[in-house]
Structure 1
Amino acid sequence: MRLRGTVAVTAAASIAMAGTAAATAAPQKWSVTAQTGLPGNENLSDVAVTGARSGWAVGGSWDAATDKPLVYRWDGTGWHLAPVPAQVDVGLSRVAGSSEANIWAFGLQIRSDRALKAFRWNGASWQASVVENGDVTLWDADVLSPSNVWLAVNGEAAAQPLRHWDGRQWRSVAAPADRVYSMHFTSAKSGWAVGTTVDGLPRMLRWNGSAWKAAALPQIPVPAGASATLNDVMALSVNNVWAVGTVSWLEGDDEQFRPVVLHWNGSAWRRVATPDYRFDLSNLAPDGSGGFWVKGGVETLVNYRAGTWTAVPRPTVPETDGVFGRMANVPGTSTMLGVGSVSPWSAPEDDRDDGIFFTAR
């Protein structure tokens, strides 16, 4: 959870509660389907799906001496190790794509001149480019085409939180936010992003095809001493956009959370009520049935569909501690794919962590 300063108390606003459908299909059931099981430690950080039999997962592996990236491909039946791009000496943190011949992965180079690097899979090989030199944090990536890629970063040009690839070069792009954490486009002329202002206030941004503009948000009631954050945004269509986050505060040494859910109906953002959840929300993904999945805190997955909220425990492996990372929908189906990591209780320290694959059907 990210804390971004204190937000003043606002007057209570009316909460828009979506009606519950009389007959709503149950959400998919999640299960663990595979582990990496390689020598050393591994984790998987992100997943992207571009077709009914085309998925990618990225992460990294490390042991006492070396770090290296991991790339897996999904062929509709299972996950398989794939060739990794050159010029990466640590794990890959993000993967996104618009087709099987336009997959982008992003990772750090740290052993020589530190840099954030991008790698494009063109269907046959990886092609590398340097996004930015220096100490750069990548928050999110969205790929529209081979010549239209957006990144949300915290880099050397602190006043410009976005980077854009135009087919020839990466350039910095200004936006009315200090930081941007998530973005999602429906076309080259329409996109949304969430972040914070320099004062730590939540910020919604809209892309109109030529510039980023701040969009009006409904009031989010925040107690004195608390902060509000928007973690993720997802556009199911031009007139159906969702953003999630949290209001958080300290009670003694314990951090308390209440989720924030916002919906865009094509004309305005409104607040949507949830059950009495006590966790933050992040990592939105469509569920293939008109709704979406979102991660709730560390231990929970939450589905929203036709006005109904359903919370389920994340799938686990017996006698392990685990982390559920990113997830994605297989287009045209209700199948979900997810990645993360597990640590067996009895494993040796130098071979403790395995990457893990999740599926929901």
Structure 2
Amino acid sequence: MSRRLSRRALPLCVLLTGVLTGGFLRATSAAHAHVDPARPQAADRSPSALLQQSATARLKADASLSDVAGLSPNDIWAVGQEDVWEAWQNRSVITHWDGSAWTEIGIRNDASGAGHLRSVAAPSSHEIWAVGDGHDGLPYVVRGDGSAFDRVSVPQFGSTDWLGGVAAVPGRTVAVGSRGKHPLIATADSAGWSVTEGEENGTLYGVALTRKGDQGWAVGDDGTRPVIMRFDGDTWDTVPAPSIDGGFLRDVAVDGPKKAVAVGGVYRDGEKVAPLVLTWNGKRWSRAGLPARHAELYGVAGDGKGRFWASGYDPEHAGQAFLLRSSGSAWRVVRGRSAPAPRTMRLQAVTHVGDLTLAVGHVVDADERYTDAVERFRPYTSKGGSADGTPRPPTSPAQR
């Protein structure tokens, strides 16, 4: 899964513009582990009520998490960057949750280092991929085995190339982005790397593959309307998308050949953005009705049973976590707790494993300091606790 902000100028999101040079990366293969205290509370009181837990991966100053991929509730990978304001010296972040603590993992044998890692994919516990910017001015691809990471050389990449998303299954890895003004798709399989450039204008931000890797979707926009490309097992081709002026897509999730969801937004009324969800039924893409008027959606994940979660930002409740969840065709809003001080929270990506939904992003305070954010949601059991046995704490009514 993959989730990115637009390369357009969005409020408080300068960290997501492409940083192409500068700085050095820590060479440690495994850094400090951070225990995450459990302080859950109720996210709502509906029949399918959720237990919410707000936390952080405790990264260094001015940090943000851009993407997350989960294999199990105790095996989750997230990527992003630290020192987001240091345009020439920002540093990549790769961190792992083992069920009790977050541990940062470094990249070996690479003096230039990565700046901002935007997307991560984990087809297995011993194969993890991430993509983003290199400090040498080239796109950055890294692969890890769970204990260490190394940069992967892709000879076909050049200085005009940019990567925004990655998806992987055993035997196939796909990274997407742009080459100049055109969509870019890079694929690695047993034959090595191949790079495809789309004929039409556009940038791709998100990509997803079916479990077998024989079909897939990539999404983005051309600056004015959504762009959707489809993989049929052999080639990637642009397919018709609903014509939505000002529309953009940032992520896509697949649940078999007849079910997929893409998320993003629609610019309207100047700088206001309406949330956008497109659904695939096996024949066509169509726009879903949503309960929120103004919001930006960045990430989406499914549970393999037809249910999906989307993460993002709601400017009318800027200090609270904001997600949408669906069961069938209906979407509902899920909000986090209110903040005691002014802040802005953006959840840039989401994953769902077991009964756990985990979203990551960042919080920006009144002094424009960034702190990475981790939001967890789990269903209550009929006995008043979470599905993993966590007792129900004192709660406040749902915020909707």
Q: Please report the TM-score for the alignment, with normalisation by the length of structure 2.
A: 0.70
| CA distance in structure 2 between the partners assigned to 1:150 and 1:181 by the alignment | 12
Match of 1:69 among 81, 92, 100: 92
2:125 maps to 1:100: yes
The answer to which of 272-281 and 72-81 deviates more is 272-281
Q: Please report the TM-score for the alignment, with normalisation by the length of structure 1.
A: 0.77
Structure showing greater relative contact order (alpha-carbon pairs closer than 8 Å, 6 or more residues apart): 1
Residue 119 of structure 1: CA displacement?
Answer: 1.2
Tell me the equivalent position of 2:165.
140
Match of 1:190 among 215, 234, 238: 215
CA contact (8 A) 1:161 1:178 kept: no
| CA distance in structure 1 between the partners assigned to 2:49 and 2:217 by the alignment | 27
| CA distance in structure 2 between the partners assigned to 1:136 and 1:27 by the alignment | 44
Task: Point out 4+ residue stretches in structure 1 off by more than 6 angstroms.
Answer: none
Deviation digits for residues 96-136 of structure 1 (CA, Å, limit 9, x no counterpart): 110011101223222xx321121111244323223423143
CA contact (8 A) 1:183 1:191 kept: yes
Tell me the equivalent position of 1:246.
265
Structure 2 unaligned residues grouped into runs of 5+: 9-45, 379-400
Tell me the equivalent position of 2:248.
229
* One-letter amino acid of the structure 1 residue matched with residue 377 of structure 2: A
The answer to which of 188-197 and 29-38 deviates more is 29-38
Q: Kindly tell me: are residues 318 and 72 of structure 1, through their superposed partners in 2, closer, same or farther at Cα, counting changes over 3 Å?
A: farther
The answer to which of 314-323 and 123-132 deviates more is 314-323
| CA distance in structure 1 between the partners assigned to 2:304 and 2:340 by the alignment | 29
- Identical aligned pairs, as a percentage? 24
Q: Secondary structure at the match of 2:293?
A: coil
Deviation digits for residues 240-298 of structure 1 (CA, Å, limit 9, x no counterpart): 11223333223xxx423333332222233333322352334331122576421113444
Greater strand proportion: 1
Structure 1 unaligned residues grouped into runs of 5+: 5-23
| CA distance in structure 2 between the partners assigned to 1:177 and 1:276 by the alignment | 32
Tell me the equivalent position of 1:10.
none
1:7-26 superposed matches below 5 A: 25-26=47-48
1:148-163 superposed matches below 5 A: 148-155=172-179, 158-159=181-182, 161-163=184-186
* One-letter amino acid of the structure 2 residue matched with residue 231 of structure 1: R
Match of 1:44 among 65, 75, 83: 65
CA contact (8 A) 1:141 1:151 kept: yes
1:311-330 superposed matches below 5 A: 311-315=333-337, 318-319=340-341, 321-330=343-352
Deviation digits for residues 46-94 of structure 1 (CA, Å, limit 9, x no counterpart): 2111234211112222387954322211112332233344421423222
Tell me the equivalent position of 2:360.
339
CA contact (8 A) 2:313 2:345 kept: no
| CA distance in structure 2 between the partners assigned to 1:247 and 1:66 by the alignment | 33
Residue 213 of structure 1: CA displacement?
Answer: 2.4
Q: Kindly tell me: are residues 195 and 75 of structure 1, through their superposed partners in 2, closer, same or farther at Cα, counting changes over 3 Å?
A: same
CA contact (8 A) 2:313 2:347 kept: no
* One-letter amino acid of the structure 2 residue matched with residue 106 of structure 1: V
Match of 2:50 among 16, 28, 48: 28
Q: Kindly tell me: are residues 276 and 121 of structure 1, through their superposed partners in 2, closer, same or farther at Cα, counting changes over 3 Å?
A: closer
How many residues of Structure 1 are paired with residues of Structure 2 in the alignment?
A: 323
What RMSD over aligned residues (CA atoms) do the two structures have, in Å?
Answer: 3.1
Tell me the equivalent position of 1:14.
none
Residue 28 of structure 1: CA displacement?
Answer: 3.2
2:143 maps to 1:125: no
Tell me the equivalent position of 2:375.
358
* One-letter amino acid of the structure 1 residue matched with residue 178 of structure 2: N
Q: Kindly tell me: are residues 303 and 189 of structure 1, through their superposed partners in 2, closer, same or farther at Cα, counting changes over 3 Å?
A: same
CA contact (8 A) 1:178 1:195 kept: no
Q: Kindly tell me: are residues 177 and 54 of structure 1, through their superposed partners in 2, closer, same or farther at Cα, counting changes over 3 Å?
A: farther
1:103-114 superposed matches below 5 A: 103-110=128-135, 113-114=136-137
2:324 maps to 1:302: yes
Q: Secondary structure at the match of 2:234?
A: coil
Q: Kindly tell me: are residues 174 and 154 of structure 1, through their superposed partners in 2, closer, same or farther at Cα, counting changes over 3 Å?
A: closer
